[in-house]
Amino acid sequence: MKSKPIKILAIETSCDETAAAVVTKNGGDVNILSNIIASQINIHKKYGGVFPEIASRAHTEKIIPVVERALNVTRYKLRVKTPYNALTYNLLRNIDVIAITIGPGLIGSLLIGVNFAKTLAYAKNLPIIGINHLLGHIYSNWAKKPYPMFPALILIVSGGHTGLYLMKSHNNIQTLGETLDDAAGEAFDKVAKLLGLGYPGGPAIADEVAKVKSYKVKVTSDIKLPRSMLNSGDYNFSFSGLKTAVLYKVKELSRITCNLSRITSAAVAASFQQTVLDILIGKTIQAAYEFKPKSICLCGGVSANKELRQQLKMAVKKLPSKTSYHIPPIELSTDNAAMIGIAASYHLDQVTKWDNIHANANLKL
Ligand code: KG4
Ligand code: ZN
């Protein structure tokens, strides 16, 4: 007999994206029915980073329309006959479980999503599951087949976190190393600010680096930056020294040329990006030699970086043993709720009642 698919409404508000998705799990198959994201980039741009209090207010304004849209898109796809402007409350009829990001993240932002999700669960008497945001990033690699095999080596690179993990099963994730200071994405954001490239820094730096190629000058070898902790013998990372090294380099180059030219600025961006990639890839490959995983998975916002996706792929290909390589679809690299729903679908044994769910800004994996 065929079992009924489990339908999950997932909500994510840990930082500056208000996101909702509907995900189904049918046996071993995961399906994303809707994935809605309201980005706050335009709001935070003028501050050069996320302004926590404003982020919380924006979540409050966006959460109902975003959840309603995620449910409506599903209704439309499934041709259920309810009026398009039906209340979220009625659309919840088809939902079996609510999944909510409970941390880590900005506490004000987390609380909006957590309280909204708890209220829905209470009102509709639905089971709810609290999901770690980082676990969500990991499961962005389970959005499409072939799914990773265990043991899987996971590299998470986001704006708030950078770390290497060995995932032996869905319930066994061992931390190999993490950043001791700044996350890689944070370094991208800070260096972009320093070079006047705008926010968010990751895509801004990647665009600038793409221009270097069109300048047809060989620049990266002239601007040497430290590859911090690459040979530290462990799997920890450090990016704050690199950021300071970029600052000194910019000062030195500005002294020589008075003003940093566009070409020099792009060259610094290129050298910085390559340095970060060398560290991330170097550590991942070192871990691959030690732990011999069957799969290597990249995830987190910085996994949207095309050079990182490509260069890590080449490095994995050169490994002596056959190792599959997984990257999330680009739209699931940065924060979204579909990844939270997918993570929930593999941990349905952890569903609970609304009053057991609490936000934790410093939640560990
Ligand atoms: O995972 P994410 O959306 O949020 C956190 O959980 O932190 O990651 C956001 C980070 C930002 O630092 C952003 O600059 C970076 O991901 N990012 C990128 C790219 N796209 C986003 N970094 C490098 N290259 C990109 N293309
Ligand atoms: Zn994230």
At residue 220, the pLDDT reads: 53
Residue 16: CB within 6 Å of ligand 1?
A: no
Which among 167, 113, 112 is positioned nearest to 135, based on CA atoms? 167
- CA triple 195-237-248, angle to 5 deg: 30
Which among 244, 116, 270, 135 is positioned nearest to 181, based on CA atoms? 244
CA distances from 364 to 131, 134, 173, 290, 361 (A): 11, 8, 11, 24, 9
At residue 259, the pLDDT reads: 61
pLDDT digits (tens, 9 = 90+) for 162-214: 999 999 999 999 999 999 999 999 999 999 999 999 889 999 999 999 887 77
Cis peptide before 104 (omega within 30 of 0): yes
Which among 212, 301, 216, 333 is positioned nearest to 262, based on CA atoms? 212
| Cα 288 to ligand 2 centroid, rounded to whole Å | 24
- 132 forms beta bridges with 103
Residue 158: CB within 6 Å of ligand 1?
A: yes
Question: Which amino acid belongs to residue 146?
Answer: P
At residue 80, the pLDDT reads: 41
At residue 83, the pLDDT reads: 40
pLDDT digits (tens, 9 = 90+) for 126-136: 999 999 999 99
Question: Which amino acid belongs to residue 226?
Answer: P
pLDDT digits (tens, 9 = 90+) for 260-277: 677 788 889 999 999 999
Residue 200: CB within 6 Å of ligand 1?
A: yes
At residue 180, the pLDDT reads: 97
In whole angstroms, give the CA distance from residue 140 to residue 136. Answer: 6
CB atoms within 10 A of CB 132: 21
In testing the pocket of ligand 1, which one of 302, 303, 331 has its CB within 8 Å of the most ligand atoms? 302
Residues of the chain with pLDDT under 70: 1-2, 74-91, 215-222, 256-260
Q: In this structure, which residues have their CB less than 5 angstroms from ion ligand 2?
A: 158, 335
At residue 9, the pLDDT reads: 97
CB 325 within 8 A of CB 94: no
Atom of ligand 1 nearest to the CA of 188: 14
Cis peptide before 151 (omega within 30 of 0): yes
Length of the chain: 365
